Amino acid sequence: MPTELLLFYALGAGAVLSTAAMLLPTTGRSPIHAALLLIVSFFFLAGLYALLSAHLLSILQIIVYAGAIMVLFTFVIMLLNLSPDEIREPKISYAKMLGGGVALFVFGKLLNGIGLAASAAKAVDLTQHDTFGTVKEVGHMMYSTFMVPFELVSVLLLVAAVGAVVLAKKNLAYVDRPVPSPAEEFKTEGHAAGDGEAAAGHGGHH
């Protein structure tokens, strides 16, 4: 137990400190530093999940959040390419104050709830008593109780992929400009090559 407790405090402190470091004036001015600190924070959180024997969540935290989503974040920051003087001093507006107030209120309520739960909780060895959160258990639930939502999500992802291709692909085959047959394409020296490729690769990659 003490080892576990020690690990918990170490990981928790790491997560909190790396998040708090984003607010420092030196790093806070640089979006890319903040994003990198967020990755660090995600890793600490993944450790906390592993400690709770939620193995799958811990792995997903690293693959999805620390991996995919953070790559997206850093790409967006790099694409925006803000110079330091473009980043203005934060201003305090009424909307921000209101939002901050609501956030504080919710935070207080949550603290209260955690306090209530903690007073009722008993020490349980999660590895012994509960398989909740293991890969096997989550997989079992996903393919039994939550099979329908799981399948529906696959449709949702398909729709999103098709939609992204439809909106972002450069050349889609136009009706008013029919795709030429290979022979005609040869004659016109490939100005319609893009169209032919688009017709063949509908719904394919960008």
Binding site for another protein (CB under 8 A): 116-117, 120, 144-149, 152-153, 155-156, 158-160, 162-163, 165-167, 172-176, 178-179, 199-203
State how far the Cα of 143 lies from the Cα of 154, in Å rounded to an integer: 13
CA 97 to chain CA mean position, Å: 27
| Closest CB to another protein among residues 64, 102 | 102
Q: How far is the CB of 3 from another protein (least distance, A)?
A: 27
State how far the Cα of 114 lies from the Cα of 59, in Å rounded to an integer: 25
Q: How far is the CB of 73 from another protein (least distance, A)?
A: 17
Q: How far is the CB of 148 from another protein (least distance, A)?
A: 4
| Closest CB to another protein among residues 145, 188 | 145
Beta carbons of 48 and 12 less than 8 angstroms apart: yes
Q: How far is the CB of 110 from another protein (least distance, A)?
A: 11
Report the phi/psi class of residue 133: left, alpha or beta, with left for phi > 0 and alpha for psi in -120 to 50: left
| Closest CB to another protein among residues 13, 99 | 99
| Closest CB to another protein among residues 87, 162 | 162
Q: How far is the CB of 202 from another protein (least distance, A)?
A: 4
Q: Tell the residue number behind the tokens 């020296």, with chain if given.
A: 189
| Closest CB to another protein among residues 16, 162 | 162
| Closest CB to another protein among residues 89, 176 | 176
> What number of helices (H) and strands (E) belong to the chain?
11, 0
197 Cβ contact partners less than 8 Å away, ≥ 6 residues apart: 171
Q: How far is the CB of 200 from another protein (least distance, A)?
A: 7
Q: What does the H/E/C string look like for 92-148?
A: CCHHHHHHHHHHHHHHHHHHHHHHHHHHHCCCCCHHHHCCCCCHHHHHHHHCCCCHH
